[in-house]
Amino acid sequence: MELSWGRRYVAVEPTHFRVEYVINPFMDPDDQPDPALAMAQWRELVATIERHGGTVEALPQREDAPDMVYAMNLGLGLVREDGQSHVVMSHMRYAERRMETSSAQPWFAERGFTTSYVGRDGVGAHLEAGDAFAFGDALVVGYGPRTEELALKHLATELGIRVRGLRITHPGMYHLDLAFCPLDDRRALVCPAALDEASAAALLELVPEPIVLTEEEALTTFCANSIVLGSTVIMPACPDRVRAQLEEWGFTVVVVDVSEFHKGGGSIRCLTNPVDVEIGRDLAVVPGGEVVLPQV
């Protein structure tokens, strides 16, 4: 069954995108993006999403926040059981990105979203939304390099859902969205090399029909950092083997080049934040919440 979420996106127009500091292995201030090319690539991505039935709402980029273009990390957008749109704002690991959410929060609030922070006003635990995806019966959350394990507990209890944690150990796949992309209710792109042994096994158990990516595929092509609109997969690149399997399953692959954004360590998923995951539809309601961690 097709994913029911992934039609409504929030993104940030890259008016001040640059590589100013190093918080992941891809970033090199000596290799700056071309601003005009980055803008053209971003516009093409937005147009492609719109052509395939999605919507994109753009918030302005703060001048002092060069990484804000990676809108996936602003917060975890959800629709509550009563239909209210809500965003659990991120609490970024690195100070260099923390100001992004103070601009994003009022922007969401003006558009009718309620907002919250995990724990006590966001000082509770680091949470970066690029680590969190609805899949199966739970919110699957990567922790380690960015999101802290404690944030999983907060998410589960505050939202009343099941959270399945996966421990990320690979420095180059510092967000789960670089190693995991849900395709439909049974299928996903997965790169177990991002995770410790128990978590890799848990991920493979969670996904009945995975396309397993090698470490090399995930790191050099960013192909797990893709988005899915129904049967269309919008990808930054697609290895032939992966394309063959996707097409066999009935998906159409659309490649959009966002190479300028790879210089900051992110690709298509990082640039777009789906806010239409519904509690009670895409995420099972679990009163009181529950955290499931891989058995070591």
Nearer Cβ to ligand ARG, position 75 or 119? 75
Tokens (6 digits) for 129: 């939304």
- Residue of 265, 274, 289, 294 that binds ligand ARG (CB under 6 A): 265
> Of 92-111, which residues contact ligand ARG (CB under 6 A)?
97
Least gap, CB of 175 to ligand ARG (angstroms)? 4
Stretch of 30-38, 77-85, 156-164, 262-270 lying at the interface with ligand ARG (CB under 6 A): 262-270
Binding to ligand ARG by residue 266, rule CB under 6 A? yes
Nearer Cβ to ligand ARG, position 160 or 276? 276
Nearer Cβ to ligand ARG, position 125 or 245? 125
Distances (CA, A) of 11 to 149, 168, 282: 27, 25, 22
Binding to ligand ARG by residue 9, rule CB under 6 A? no
Binding to ligand ARG by residue 260, rule CB under 6 A? no
Binding to ligand ARG by residue 221, rule CB under 6 A? no
Strands 187-190 and 180-182: antiparallel
Cβ atoms of residues 271 and 261 within 8 Å: yes
Nearer Cβ to ligand ARG, position 87 or 289? 87
> Of 108-147, which residues contact ligand ARG (CB under 6 A)?
130
Least gap, CB of 276 to ligand ARG (angstroms)? 17
Binding to ligand ARG by residue 23, rule CB under 6 A? yes
21-58 core/surface letters (b: 16 or more CB in 10 A; e: else)? eebbebbeeeeebeeeebbebbeebbebbeebebebee
How many binding residues for ligand ARG (CB under 6 A)? 16
Binding to ligand ARG by residue 73, rule CB under 6 A? yes
Binding to ligand ARG by residue 24, rule CB under 6 A? yes
- Closest-CB residue for ligand ARG? 130
CB atoms within 10 A of CB 11: 21
Tokens (6 digits) for 282: 């895409």
> Of 170-209, which residues contact ligand ARG (CB under 6 A)?
175, 177-178
68: left (phi over 0), alpha (psi -120 to 50) or beta: alpha
From the list 93, 81, 162, the residue with the least C-alpha distance to 127 is 93
Query: For residue 245, what is the DSSP state?
Result: H
Cβ atoms of residues 283 and 134 within 8 Å: yes
Binding to ligand ARG by residue 270, rule CB under 6 A? yes
Strand partners, 85: 79
Stretch of 29-37, 115-123, 228-236, 265-273 lying at the interface with ligand ARG (CB under 6 A): 265-273
Binding to ligand ARG by residue 272, rule CB under 6 A? no
Exposed/middle/buried for residue 4 (C-beta within 10 Å: 0-12, 13-18, 19+): middle
Q: Would the CA dihedral through 72, 181, 18, 258 be positive or negative?
A: negative
From the list 144, 147, 103, the residue with the least C-alpha distance to 125 is 147
Distance CA 71, CA 141 (A): 17
- Residue of 77, 264, 289, 294 that binds ligand ARG (CB under 6 A): 264
- What does the binding site for ligand ARG look like in residue numbers (CB under 6 A)? 23-24, 27, 67, 70, 72-73, 97, 130, 175, 177-178, 264-266, 270
